[in-house]
Each structure stands twice: as C-alpha cells, then as structure tokens.
Amino acid sequence: MSDELRKLPGDAVPDLDPVTFGVAFTRAMRRQRTAVHTPSLRTSVAIPRWLTARCLRTGGLTPADYVEAAVRCTPLEDQDLAEAVARGIVFPQAASEKPASPEEPKAVAAPVAPTDAVADILGDLASLDLDLDAIDDLSDLDALLAADQDEGDSELGAFDLFERLYSSADPGERALGELIHRFGGPAELEASAVRTVFLARVWVAKHLLAAVGELNPELCAFGVTAGYGRELRRACTEPWEVAGVLAGEADPALEPLLDDLLQHGASRELGRTLAFLAPHPAVAERRATFADAALGRALDLTDFAELVVGLGSWLDPDPDLLEASIAVSPRRALEAGAWLEQTFGIDLRPDLFDRWLRTRPRPDLGELALLAVATESWETALDGALQREVARLDGSHARLEEAVGLTAALVATGLPHGRHTARRLATEALVRVADAVLFLPLLDAFLERGVVPEVDPVLARARELGVAEEEVLDRLGQALEQLRQMVLTDAHDADRYQRLVQRVRSVPAPMMQELCACACASGNLEAMAALLAVDMGGAAAHLDDDQVASALGHKGIGGGNNLLVQWFTHRRGLRSTVAARIKEQVKATLLDEALDWVGQGDGSGERGLVPQQRSRPFRAGDGLDQLDLDGTLEAIVTSGRSLDQVTEEDLYASETARGRAALVVLIDISGSMSGGELAVCAIAVVMLLGRLLPEEVALAVFESDTHPIKGFQQTTDLDAVADQVLELQATGGTRADAALTWAADELAGVGEAEVRVLFLLSDYAFFEGEEVLKARSTALAEHGARLLAASHGYVSRDTLTTMLETMGGEHLEMDDLRRLPGLLLAALSRLGE
Amino acid sequence: MTTDPLALLSGAKITDLHDHQDIVLEGQYREAYDAMLDAHNAGLYVGLIGPVGAGKTALCRKFAEDLGKPFDWVTFSDLVRPSNLIGSFDPTLVFKYGFAPEAFSPGPFTISALQGGVFLANELNRGDEYVLNVLLDALEERKLYVPSLRSWYRVSDDFYLIAAMNPSEHRGTRRLPSAVQDRVKVWVELGYPKRATELKIVRSRCGEYELGAAQLELVLELVDHTRNDPAVERPASIRSSIGIARLAAERSKRLGKAVDNTTLAEAAKLVLGQAILMKPGRSREKYLESLLVRVLGTAGA
C-alpha cells in the first residue's frame, strides 16, 4: 500500500484519509484498556468503507464525518470512548472538548460521479472485501495494526499529570485530581496508559458513572465541580444523588425535587439527601429548612436516625418520639439507638429500655434477650425474669427445650450479665431434669450454644440420676485450660487442637495475647491455627500477616464451616492486608462447603429443577429432529391407517422441558444476624446457585437495602457470587418493600414456569405497614408465586399470616439456622412433585 | 359476509407488506437513516439500539421500502430455533419425497437471503447464541447452508441485514456473541425523539381526530416527565403518547365534548398505568397522581 494519502474528492480533513484514519483509530482503541470491546480488523476496514459511501452520497467529507464514522463503527458500550479517541486523531492539537454536534447541518449534494482517484481507492477497498482469512492480502494493514508505537503528542507521565491536576489553582482541575485520587490515583492512570488530560477525563468519567447508585456526597460534589454535571444528571436515578448534582449546579430544579421528596420520600431518602446537600454552602439555608420539615415528619426513632445521620450533627429527639417508637417496636427503636450510638457516641438505649420497662413491669427472659441493653435496670429485670422462669421449670421436655432456646438468646446478647444469666438458667434446668435419658443431650445442647453450667450442682444431679460422671466431666472438662496448656507446652497434636476448638467459645484478651506470643516464639502453626479458629479477630491482632495466612486452617484445625463463621464475625476488625490474604482461602472454603450440599438432593441440576420428557402434537416450525418416532408410529398403528394416509395430525414431537419452576430466594440479613448465621446464609446462597440452572433461580439478600445477587436472566459465576457474599454484613433495619418488589419484577420477566415460588427467610419484623406488605404480596400472587416462608427464633406472626393468606404456601420453622441448606434442598425436591 | 375459511383467507391476503404510512424522518431519525444508508452503500450491516417504542421497526420498514427491496423479519426470543429462520421440512412430504427441496419450506431468513431482501433481526439480543450462529455464514461468506439438504446456497448480493435491539441492560436481553457483534459493523443508537419530532409523529398517527396543539403538548409533557424522572425505571414510549392522544380524542368524541384536561388525565391514567415501571419502593399510583396534578391540574374523575 502506498504511503501517500488517498484523499477522496471533497474531503476537507487535512493530513488524514479514510484508510489511514481507520487504521489509526483501530490502533488507538486497542490501546484503551477501559474499552469493553477490542476492535478487530473488520473495524479498520469498515470505517473507510463507510466514509467512502458517505462521501459519494454527500459529495464531501468533514471532520465530523470522520468522528461519526469512528463512533458508528464501534459498539454502543465504547462509543463515548471512541468519540474521544477519534477527536484526538482528527483534532490532535484541539483544546475543545465539545462533542460532535448531531445538529450540525450536513451539506447534501448530488453524488459526484466517481473519478479515477475514487475508482482507484474503491479498487483498493474492494480488494479488502476478500475472505478475511486470506491474511496475506491484508498483511500491510495488519502490520500497521500490530505496531505498538507510542505516538503520544502532548503527553505527560501519569504521575506528573496527576500532580499537575491535584495542585492546580483551577477548581475544576483540582476536583478532577481529587476524583483520580479516589479512583486509585496515578498508579491506576499509569496502568491504563492515560497520559493526557483528555483521556484522564474519559477515564474518570467511566469510573464516576460506574459508581452512580453508590456515590458518596464528596464524589458527587467533586464530579459536578470537575464538569461532569451533565453526565451525572443523565445517569443518576437515586433522588439524593440527583439532589447533590442539582445543588452543585445551583439548578432551580432542586426545589421541586426537594418538595417531592418531602411529600413522598421515605426517611432514608430524606436523610441521604441531607448528606448530599452538605458539601454545597450555597444551599445551606434550603438544606436547613428541608431538614426541619423532614424532622417534623419523623414517625419513629428509625426515621429520626436516618435524618440526623444525614444531617451529620446531633439533635436531641423529642421524648414523645421515643415513646412512640417504643410503643410500635421496641426492638427497632433499640436498633436505631445502636446506630446513633455508633455514629455520634450518644447512647439512647438505656432511656429507651427504661421507657419500655415502665410499660412492661414483668418482662420475660425472651423479651429481655431481644431488648438487651448494658444497663443496671436491664440486669435487674433479667434477674427477676430468671426467677420467674426458674419457677416454671418442671423437668418436662417442653420446658427444658424452651430453656435451651432462652439460654442461646441470652448468650447472643453478647453482654456479660446475659451470659451469666444463661449459665444460671442452664444450671437450674439441668438440676431439675427428672429423666436420666434427657440429661446428657440437654447438657450437650447447652454446651453447643456456648453455655457452660456450674459444675458442682450439675455433677450432683448427674450422680442422682445415675449418669456417669466421666461423661459429664468430659463435656465440662475445662477446654480452655487444656488449650492453654497445649500452647504453653508447644504441643503439635492437630487432632486434639481440633477437638478442643470446637468446645472453646472464647479466649480472654490477656490470655490470647499471652498464647499468641508463645505460639509465635515457638513457630507453632497448629497452636496459631487453634487460636485463630476460636477467635480470628483476637488472634490476628497479635500475629503478623504471614503467620495468619500460613496458620489459618492449618492441618484442618478450625477450617470448614468454622472458618466461615470466624470470617463473618471478625472480618471488619481484621487489618485490610490480612483480610485480603485470607479471603481467597475463605472463598475456597465457602465454595467447598456449598458444593458439598450441591451434590446432595434428588435429580441433576443439568436437567433443571423439574426435568421432564414429554410428547406433544407436532406443530408447524418443529424440526424433524424433534419427531417422536415411537409415539408417532404408535398413534398411526392404533388408528389402523397405512403410512401413505398419514397426515400431520398423526405426528408427535418429543420435548425436554428445561425446568418448569422459577424460584426467587430472599434472605433477610438485618442487624440481628450473628457471624454463624451469616455463614450459613452464605453457604445456602452459593449452594442454590451451584445446584440450579441459572434461569431457574433469582436470589437477593436484604436489610434496609436490597442487594440482588443474581436475577433470572443472568448467568451464574460462582466465584463472583462468593466474592460478593463474603462482603455481606448484617446491618440496619429490615425493609422488605424493595426486596419484594424486586422479586415481583423478576417473576414478571419469567416466561414459561408452571411453578413459581418465593422462598423468604426472615423474622418478618418489617418496617413497612400491613397495607404495603399486602400490596406487595398481592403483586407476587398475581405472578403466580406462592410463599415458602422460613424463620428461626422470633417471628412476627401478624405479618407472616398476612403474607401467607395473600400468597398461599407454608411456613417452615427452624430451631437451628444451620438446617437452612438442607431445608432448601428439601423445598427444591418438593417443587418437582 | 362469508364464513368460508378459504374465501376469508384469500380475501384478506396481503401481497404488499410495505407500510405506506408516512413516517417523520427528522432529527435523530434523519441522522439514523443517513447512517444506515451510508452503511448499506458501504456493504456494512447496521445495528439499531434503542428502548421499546423508539421507532426502530418503523424506520427499518421505511428504509427497505425506499430501497425498493422485499422486507422480512423475525423477532428473536428463547423460543426461536434455527428452523424458524432457515426453514423446515413438511414431515408428510418427507415421507413422500424424502429430504428434498420439494419437502422444504424456506424460512424468512432464507427467503430474504436468496431473493436479496432486507431482513430485520428484531430483538437480536434476546436470541439464543446457538440460533444466532446460524446467521454467521450468510453475513460473512454470503452463502447459506441448509443441513438436511446438505447444500450450500448463494446469498444474493442485494441481501442486507439490520439488527434491532433494546439496550443490553434491559431485562431479558443477553450480550451478543462476539462473532455476531463483530459482523454488525455500524451501530446507531435511537433514544426517544425530541419534542418537536414526537409531536409530528403523534399528529401523524391521530390524523382522524381534531386535537389542538396545546393538548398534544400536554400529552408530550406527561410522557416527557416519565423519561426524566429518576423514580421511573421504564418510561413511556412514543406508543404511549399516541395512545393517550387517541384515547382522549375518542372518549371526548363519544361523550360529545371537547378534549379537556380531565379527559386527558383519565386517558393518561389508563395508558400509563401499565406502560411505566417504577424503581423498587416507589408507588406507581402515587407517582401518576402527582404527575397528572402537576401537569394537568387534575388526576381525572
């Protein structure tokens, strides 16, 4: 190919012709690491062809035509980037960032009769229209494309570029620098080969727009200052983000938005809007009046908390509000109190509890366990409730089972007096056991829940019942002390460590420090593994990253499910470096645990939830490969006709249904979930996705927000799901509206599915009122879904009943959440019946 | 009125599939049309991407009509199989002739490819990859294989494919296989048109009614709000604009009164009630009521 430019008549673009432009553009796009699609040789061929056709139709070519050709010949996802790259080639020295205006009038002239030059170029182009496998013909073109010469014109190094922007006097450039810093800094720029301001803006735009939906107020404000207001306005859909953009641009549209929010918005939206207005001093006054109006609307402490957190400064709540919150839902009120305490360090919970106690003079242990607060009045109430509960113990199986549940709830409070009360209750229950057969199972039940009763009274009762002392002592055998001795004496017995860690619930902090130091000094990986297995957070604080990574799960000590429990319980307290290192190990464990379950249950995932082979009448459009020959011949023979009398009505086709069920799974991970419970949910989530065909299951977890894990239309990537699931955190209140709406939307998009089920694991103590829940349940019922409700522990009966009555279905009550994966598998089997 | 099925079919048969209704070719539609024309002349297949009701199919039909070529289409979904594109064999004829051309009924893609028509692959990104791969040889090699005939057929030089689809983030869509994506070389995005263009479109579809400019503006104002409101996940399309205008006009005609805001509000409620989809947690009824009051001053009777 000649090096001279092959200009078309009327081509007004200097220094470029369609072919060289096509090649240059394709090369430049291949260097863009943020591009979704890598352009192929076809792109470098398509661009000059398109430009030639455009030139023949309009009689000339303008720079806008070149840019349009590049944009049109690029898939939609990369068209913004393509425009920037194309403009960089067509206008190499241009400072303007104005995009090609689609309103620019184009001169439409009669097509010019081709001259020899055009025919010459068309001849070249026609020669490109060969079978692309014949690479020899395109070797020049390919060589040009493969060349990786850096033709940077006014390029800085990425670090210099960042420095220039970050320290610029211009607010827009400085904001751009801030955004680069927040998206990874100059190292990320360098990795993406971004070295000009123009490409830096494109790079930042991509990251900023990808973060839409999860922006924070600062990112939003910097985005507007850096000049991305227009793009953010197009992309943002959350009202608080839109408010942040409008405030940054001093747009009068902010006013109606705020009015609309005040009329229709939930407190969460109002609170977040307040946060997003904070960085903009120009709207400070409006923000203040908005806050006042919003606070006037707050119905309970949760609403109040949302607003105050958004406001960023403490306000004393109205006493009437506290009373109202306690009256509606004391548990929710305490959760809101915990959140406020976390944010502002001001603890309203003692006051809330005292108010509640005034309305409930004789609370029972169950209620007090749910409303646990570290105050003297709670402890006093607990003591009184314990006495009443002990008075009820009569040695019957039912009462003893209740006692087990209550001790678990008391331990779960995490408060010393709760644990102490649990211990006392367990002791009282055991000394009242009348039947020897029940004694050891009951003791095991308490120990499994981390409740160690007092040794002497329990031993005495065991003797009275004729239960072997060794059995009791072995169970009560001071596992912590044994562990301590093993570490101090540098023991390496992995099996023994494994047995002990299953019985040790916690290690006091000073002892943990002592034992970790000892294990480090002797390099005892088994000891370190045991300590990490008992308390990953506590042990990791005294071990370095390498030791943690090496010791975790060493020789199987504390691996498996225990590792997952430890991860969910302690990961927020881990150093980021060590968390990153052990996450891969935890992920592998999660996948192993989940895939163990996947292998259980009936049927095969490959054939779908409810695989079925069936025969149906042949219809137009069916291929002959679908013909059910046996069924057809049988029908013909039965009818007594001969072969030449066969009509299409006699034919049958066989069909394998790929699955006739659609299962939506919603799991409530609101604040009351422990690390162990989260671990079980994580296993259940991954198990489901590994077990079922992608189109059969949609899955989300929710607390105050809904986090879709996978929709019906998405493929399943277990690795990505495991990553996502390991970052779940039990937090916030329980808002079911968005989750149920998501479920209904997913089911609406399902085509053929004879069985549609919503599996919902929750305590059903939702923020929304009955009306809203009924409406959502009705919407689900209209999509044919029935409810498979699952719960463990406390459940809000009224809400559950409303939903069951509206949707139909059944309620599965678990006494132990660890049964969840098995329960799900059983539910799946029943779907096929 | 005949009840004879054969006579009914014969009398209703359409021989000319061209839609002679005028379309408004301005604004984004003009630009898209020009881009398609250039792509066609350059021998490059084009993909049209846009939301539901943006006018993709109408534009393709107009394009084919202007080129003077036959127009065929298939709307892709999970249920579309290769035989729906290529064609299938009549089993009863197979018993008689075997796997021979006499027993073969060509599908719309085969007909279009062999006679040199314009083929619209509608909702292409809802099709199964296995089915889409059937198109590859015809698009690149310009030849078509019919498996049971064990024969290759030459695709006419005049054959042209247009792919139309909703954006990939829409529910039910898939990512196009890269082999197909790379063969469609020109991508044109259509959004909802500018107000002036949409006004002309609605007017052209409501020709038999007397609707004032002010009333049409109100209809477009309503629809426009749904497209710009962050609470709305799926906004109203051009079809909704046309629907509201026609319904309000017809209702007023039936009631013997002029089209007023109340009539518009009632029509809008009926049309938009299922046309729009709200984001999770937002009430459609409350939103519509607020919108109607804001724009029309009334939420209807």
- Residue-wise pLDDT tens digits, B155-164: 999 999 999 9
Is residue B88 assigned to a domain? yes
Highest mean predicted confidence (pLDDT) among A209-218, A591-600, A719-728: A209-218
Chain A from 168 to 227: CB within 8 A of any B CB? none
- CB contacts of A236 in chain B (<8 Å) are 230
Asked if residue A4 has pLDDT above 70, the reply is: no
- What per-residue confidence (pLDDT) applies to A559? 81
The parent domain of residue B261 ranges over 195-296
Cα dihedral value A199, A202, A204, A209, nearest 10: -170
- Residue A732 — left, alpha, or beta (φ > 0 → left; ψ -120 to 50 → alpha)? left
Measured between beta carbons, the chain B residues lying within 8 angstroms of A233 are none
- Final residue belonging to a domain, choices A657, A680, A715: A657
Using an 8 Å Cβ cutoff, are A687 and A822 in contact? no
- For residue A500, give how far its alpha carbon lies from the nearest alpha carbon of chain B (Å): 48
pLDDT of residue B111: 92
Higher pLDDT, A368 or B10: A368
Q: What is the pLDDT of residue A662?
A: 86
For residue B259, is it within any domain? yes
Let me know whether B36 and B146 are in one domain.
yes
| pLDDT tens for each residue of A298-331 | 988 988 999 999 999 999 999 999 999 888 888 8
Domain co-membership, A452 together with A510: no
Cβ(B40)–Cβ(A56) under 8 Å? no
Kindly report the CATH number assigned to the domain that includes residue B254: 1.10.8.80
Our CA-based measurement puts residue B187 at a distance from the nearest CA of chain A, in whole angstroms, of 5
CA A319 – CA A301 distance, rounded (Å) = 10
Which site among A19, A51, A76, A735 would you substitute to test the B interface, given the most B Cβ atoms closer than 10 Å to its Cβ? A76
**pLDDT number for residue A599:** 63
Cα-Cα-Cα-Cα dihedral of A246, A247, A250, A251, to 10°? 30
Q: Are residues A737 and A798 in the same domain?
A: yes
pLDDT confidence of A108, banded at 50, 70, 90?
very low
A705 plus A827 within the same structural domain: yes
Q: Which A residues, 58 through 77, put their C-beta within 8 Å of a C-beta on chain B?
A: 68, 72-77
User: Could you give phi then psi for residue B102, rounded to 5 degrees?
Assistant: -65, -25
**Which residue reads 């005040």 in tokens?**
A262
Torsions phi, psi for A246 (to 5 deg): -65, -40
- Out of A185-189, A217-221, B110-114, B185-189, least confident range: A185-189
Confidence (pLDDT) at A147: 44
Reference A743, options A693, A717, A781; nearest CA is A781
Query: How many CB atoms lie under 10 A from the CB of residue A486?
Result: 20
CB contact under 8 A, A713 and B171: yes
Together in a domain, A631 and A540 = no
pLDDT at A833: 53
Residue count of chain A, please give it.
833
Contact B230 A42 (CB under 8 A): no
Residues B179 and B205 in one domain: no
Kindly give the pairing relationship between strand A652-657 and strand A612-617: antiparallel
Q: What is the pLDDT of residue A223?
A: 95
CB A176 within 8 A of CB A187: no
DSSP string, A309-330: HHHTS--PPPHHHHHHHHHH-H
Please check whether residue A266 touches B, CB under 8 A: yes
Q: Does A102 touch chain B (CB under 8 A)?
A: yes
DSSP A696-747: GEEEEEESSSEEEEE-TTS---HHHHHHHHHT----S----HHHHHHHHHHH
Q: Is A268 part of any domain? A: no
B49 contact residues in A (CB cutoff 8 A)? 76
Q: Indicate whether B57 and B166 sit together in one domain.
A: yes
Counted across chains A and B, CB pairs separated by less than 8 A come out at: 127
Same structural domain for residues A650 and A698?
no
Q: Nearest CA to CA, how far is A741 from chain B (Å)?
A: 6
Least CB-CB distance to B49: which of A46, A76, A751? A76
Do B106 and B18 share a structural domain? yes
Residue A363 has a pLDDT of: 94
For residue B172, list chain A residues with Cβ-Cβ distance below 8 A: 713, 749
Residue A489's alpha-carbon distances to A531, A561, B96, in angstroms, are 15, 28, 90
Task: Return d(Cα B159, Cα B141) in angstroms, integer.
Answer: 12
SS3 B88: strand
Both B166 and B200 in one domain: the answer is: no
A457-474: per-residue pLDDT in tens?
A: 998 999 999 998 767 877
Burial track B248-270 (b if 16+ CB lie within 10 A, e otherwise): bbbbbeeeeeebebbbbbbbbbb
Q: Do B83 and A79 touch (CB under 8 A)?
A: no
Among the candidates A146, A167, A185, a domain finishes at A146
Q: pLDDT by residue (tens digit) across A491-547?
A: 888 888 888 888 788 888 889 999 999 999 999 999 999 999 999 989 999 999 889
Q: What is the full DSSP assignment across A491-512?
A: ---HHHHHHHHTT-----HHHH
Looking at the fold, whether B213 and B169 belong to one and the same domain comes out as: no
* Number of C-beta neighbours around residue B200 at 10 A: 18
Looking at the fold, whether A674 and A792 belong to one and the same domain comes out as yes
pLDDT grade for B39, boundaries at 50, 70 and 90:
very high
* pLDDT on residue A278: 95
Contact call for A72 and B187, based on CB within 8 A: yes
A534 and A634 co-located in one domain: no
Among partner residues A46, A131, A618, which is closest to B91 by beta-carbon distance?
Answer: A618
Give the nearest partner residue to A40 out of B40, B44, B182, using CB atoms.
B182
| Number of domains composing chain A | 5
Domain final position from B167, B189, B211: B189
Give the residue from chain B lying closest to A49, CA to CA: B42
pLDDT(A551) > 50: yes
Confidence band, pLDDT 50/70/90 cuts, at residue A115? very low
- Please judge whether A57 and B41 are an interchain contact, meaning their C-beta atoms are less than 8 angstroms apart: yes
Assess if residue A31 is contained within a domain: yes
Q: Using an 8 Å Cβ cutoff, are A497 and A526 in contact?
A: yes
Backbone angles phi, psi at A317, to 5 degrees: -75, 155
Measured distance CA(A665)–CA(A820) in Å, rounded? 12
Cα–chain center distance at A633: 54
- In whole angstroms, what separates CA A120 from the centre of its chain? 58
* B156 and B275 co-located in one domain: no
Whether B38 and A77 lie within 8 Å, measured CB to CB: no
H or E, element range at A595: helix A576-598
Main-chain phi, psi angles of A702, to 5 degrees: -150, 150
Please give the C-alpha separations between residue B167 and each of A549, A698, B162, B173, in angstroms, as whole numbers.
44, 21, 15, 8
Put simply, the chain A residues between 106 and 135 with a CB less than 8 A from any chain B CB are 106, 129, 131-132
Write down which residue in B159, B189, B219 finishes a domain: B189
Closest to B114 in 3D by CA, of B72, B168, B175, B53 = B72
Cβ-based contacts of A213 with chain B (< 8 Å): none
* Locus of tokens 């044994």: A482
CB atoms within 10 A of CB A553: 21
- Do residue B84 and residue B144 come from a single domain? yes
**Residue A296 included in any domain:** no
Note whether A622 contacts B88, CB cutoff 8 Å: yes
Strands A755-761 and A785-792: parallel
What's the gap in Å between the CA of A171 and the closest CA on chain B? Answer: 28
State both tokens at A815.
């006494």
Q: Given an 8 Å threshold on Cβ–Cβ distance, is B188 in contact with A72?
A: yes
Mean pLDDT for chain B?
85
Cα(A756)–Cα(A319) distance, integer angstroms: 47
Stronger pLDDT, A324 or A592, i.e. the higher one: A324
Q: Residues A416, A558: one domain? A: no
Dist CA A76 CA B47 (whole Å): 10
CB A729 within 8 A of CB A714: no
Specify the pLDDT at position B21: 59
Task: Give residue A477's pLDDT.
Answer: 67
Domain-ending residue, one of B139, B164, B189: B189
Looking at A146, A162, A185, the residue that finishes a domain is A146
User: pLDDT tens for residues A767-815?
Assistant: 777 888 888 999 999 888 989 888 887 788 888 998 999 998 888 888 7
- Round to the nearest angstrom and report the end-to-end CA distance of chain A: 70
Query: Which residues of chain A have a CB within 8 Å of the CB of B81?
Result: 621, 623
Q: Can you tell me the distance from the alpha carbon of A245 to that of A230, in angstroms, rounded to the nearest whole number?
A: 9
The alpha carbon of residue A646 is apart from the nearest alpha carbon of chain B, in Å, by 7
- Whether A43 sits inside 8 A of B185 (CB atoms) is yes
Closest Cβ–Cβ partner in B44, B171, B233 for A49: B44
**DSSP single-letter state for residue B133:** G
Is the CB of B42 less than 8 angstroms away from the CB of A52? Answer: yes
Q: Render pLDDT for A270-295 as a digit per residue (tens, 0 to 9).
A: 999 999 999 999 999 999 999 999 99
Q: Which of B38, B56, B128 to mutate to test the interface with A (most CBs of A within 10 A)?
A: B38
Confirm or reject contact between A441 and chain B (CB < 8 A).
no
Q: Is residue B119 one of the residues assigned to a domain?
A: yes
Res. A19: pLDDT tops 60: yes
pLDDT at A645: 74
Of A235, A278, A280, A242, which Cα lies nearest the Cα of A260?
A: A242
Q: What is the SS3 assignment for A264? A: helix
Q: Would you state the pLDDT for residue A690?
A: 76
Q: In terms of CA atoms, which chain B residue is nearest residue A129?
A: B43
Q: Which residues of B touch A74 (CB under 8 A)?
A: 187
A170-179 pLDDT, tens digit each = 899 999 999 9
Q: Is A769 on the interface with B (CB under 8 A)?
A: no
Do A813 and A786 sit in the same domain of this protein? yes
pLDDT at residue A595 tops 50: yes
B301 in any annotated domain:
no
Residue A670 sits in the same domain as residue A762? yes
- Kindly determine whether residue B280 and residue A741, on different chains, have CB atoms separated by under 8 Å: yes
Which chain B residue is nearest to residue A712, measuring alpha carbons?
A: B172
Collapsing DSSP states into helix, strand and coil, what is residue A479? helix
User: Which CATH number is A691's domain given?
Assistant: 3.40.50.410
Average pLDDT over residues A346-350: 93
Cα–Cα nearest to A356, from A394, A328, A386: A328
Tell me B141's DSSP state.
T
Predicted confidence at residue A504, as pLDDT, reads 86
Q: In which band, very low, low, confident or very high, does the pLDDT at A266 lie, cut at 50, 70 and 90?
A: confident
Rounded CA separation A793/A668 (Å): 13
pLDDT more than 90, % of chain A: 32
The model's confidence at residue B265, banded by pLDDT at 50, 70 and 90, is: very high
B37/A57 Cβ within 8 A:
yes
Residue B133 pLDDT level (bands cut at 50, 70, 90): confident
B263 CA to chain A: closest CA distance, Å?
25
Strand partners of residue B74:
B121
Is A244 within the bounds of a domain? no
- Whether the per-residue pLDDT at A105 is higher than 70: the answer is no
Chain A residues in contact with B28 by the CB 8 A cut-off are 102
Q: Measured between CB atoms, which of A46, A264, A624 is closest to B44?
A: A46
Q: Which has the closest alpha carbon to A423: A394, A444, A446?
A: A446
A767-770 contact pairs (CB < 8 A, 24+)? A767/A302, A767/A332, A767/A704, A767/A733, A767/A734, A767/A735, A767/A736, A767/A737, A768/A735, A768/A736, A768/A737, A770/A798, A770/A799, A770/A802
The CA distance from A70 to the nearest CA of chain B, in Å, is: 9
Domain extent for A645: 612-657
Is residue B133 located within the same domain as residue B259?
no
Could you tell me what percent of chain A has a pLDDT over 70?
Answer: 86
Query: Are B38 and B183 members of one domain?
Result: yes
**From CA B12, how far away is CA B7, in angstroms rounded?**
8
Kind plus residue range of the DSSP H or E element containing A566: helix A561-570
pLDDT digits (tens, 9 = 90+) for A373-389: 999 999 999 999 999 99
B226 in the same domain as B180: no
Average pLDDT, chain A: 82
Distance in Å, alpha carbon of B188 to nearest chain A alpha carbon: 6
Number of folded domains that form chain B: 2
Q: Which residue in A50, A75, A239 is closest to B42 by CB distance?
A: A50
Q: Which of B39, B82, B230 sits opposite A237 (nearest CB)?
A: B230
The yes-or-no verdict on residue A93 having pLDDT over 80 is no
Mutation choice for B interface testing from A44, A47, A49 by most B CBs within 10 A:
A49
Report d(CA A137, CA A123) in Å as an integer. 13
- Taking CB atoms and an 8 Å cutoff, what residues of chain B touch A37? 178, 181
User: How does strand A706-710 pair with strand A697-702?
Assistant: antiparallel
Q: Does A37 touch chain B (CB under 8 A)?
A: yes
CB–CB of B280 and A76 under 8 A? no
Question: B136, B166, B178, B189: which is closest to A36 by C-alpha?
Answer: B178
